[in-house]
Amino acid sequence: MGQASSPSDYDFLNSGGSVLYSPDYNTGQGNCTSVEMVSDLLQIPSFTGSSNPSESQVGAYIKRIEDYVDTKTGTSFRPITYFDEYHNFEFKKYGNNRVWFDAVGFIQLLHPDVRKIIKLEVWQGNSWRDLASATATVEFNSTNTGVTSEIVLGRPDGGSHEFPSGTTYSQFNNTLGPKTSAQELVYLINGQYPANTIEFTSPTNKRHKYSTANKFFYATIDSENQNKVVISSLLIGDDGSACTISATGTGITTSNFTDHEEMARTGNWWKIDNEGRIFFRKNYPYHEQNSIRVSYVSGKSRVPGIITDAATKLVACEILRHDDQTVLIAESGAQIDIKGKYDLLKQEADELLNMGKETVFFID
């Protein structure tokens, strides 16, 4: 049973009194806390772009602390993308003498609280079959090498995202061959660090991790054809089938967004989001070992008050620890000194995080 909401939940949409459409660490608005909550806790003036530390620097603290919170509790309170998680498949017959099953098998994902199944691929003998979301493809040919090109992805609301070729951080490098071009386009769409290609392409700057595009699309390399990029819509269910794709430049082949998903209790498959379970009914793998491959977004949709309290206190600890030169926080002999404040806040935060850890029960 999942808890839908609580009056004490943290809501980043209204933090600081201004409406935000997503967390923005550059302005100090995180998934679990904000610069306003930190300055209120420390009883100091608000952080600004010119303060020391600035609101963007406090935002960097918040980003690191939220990762610490996720690791400490074993639960993510932010949307985290997991790519190519492999599972074995055990076929189960339809029932026995006492029980009838409405699935031929199921898998348990490594991370619960599923927000979106990006790709649910099953190996059916000679190819992977995707059972989730809506996808399009872009395939590069060697004749595209060095050719001025552009990929455009369109959304159902009329918005679009352009991905041109080139050598800057906002372009994909297609001067070294089709496989490098494909990998570069994946990194550009996802806003990822170009780990596999950076030594060859040497981009002039880092890519934008939180661009508008990667809120709507997620790209991967086709494992059976490294010249091909598979682009999945991140819209709910199969809404992404209304997205569009186009390309300019020779040596590029595209396929339109296609709906793969028939997810229902009586459909091809169904899921229990908070448990991270996927049940297969009509379409399933034909082999057992490593025959299911899943990419998905996971993370709790609500941030409890104790998590917000812990994150706020831990960010305050970071500021206290780096306050030697700025002297933001006053200290008097009649009150708790800086070290005492740090120790107290750190202890309280860790106690709260221990309370927020997930508990797993194994029943024989």
Stated pTM of the model: 0.85
**pLDDT at residue number 364:** 45
**pLDDT at residue number 229:** 98
* Identity of residue 257: F
d(C-alpha 98, C-alpha 22), whole Å = 50
**pLDDT at residue number 287:** 87
Give the containing element (helix H, strand E) for 154: strand 150-154
pLDDT along the chain (364 residues), means of 10: 75 55 82 93 91 92 95 91 94 58 88 93 91 94 97 96 92 95 94 85 66 87 96 92 96 94 88 93 89 95 92 94 60 67 91 78 45
**pLDDT at residue number 216:** 94
**pLDDT at residue number 306:** 93
* Identity of residue 91: F
Contact partners, residue 315, CB within 8 Å, separation at least 6: 33, 38, 58, 61, 62, 65
d(C-alpha 360, C-alpha 143), whole Å = 54
- Whether residue 105 contacts residue 122, with contact meaning beta carbons closer than 8 Å, is answered with no
**pLDDT at residue number 93:** 60
DSSP state of 324: T
* Residue 273 structure tokens: 């989001």
Q: Which domains does the chain have, with CATH numbers?
A: 12-78+306-355 (no CATH), 80-130+263-280 (no CATH), 134-259 (2.60.40)
- For residues 157-189, b (16+ Cβ closer than 10 Å) or e, as one string? eeeebebbbbeeeebbbbeeebbbbbbbbbbbb
d(C-alpha 241, C-alpha 260), whole Å = 9
Bridge partners for 161 per DSSP: 153
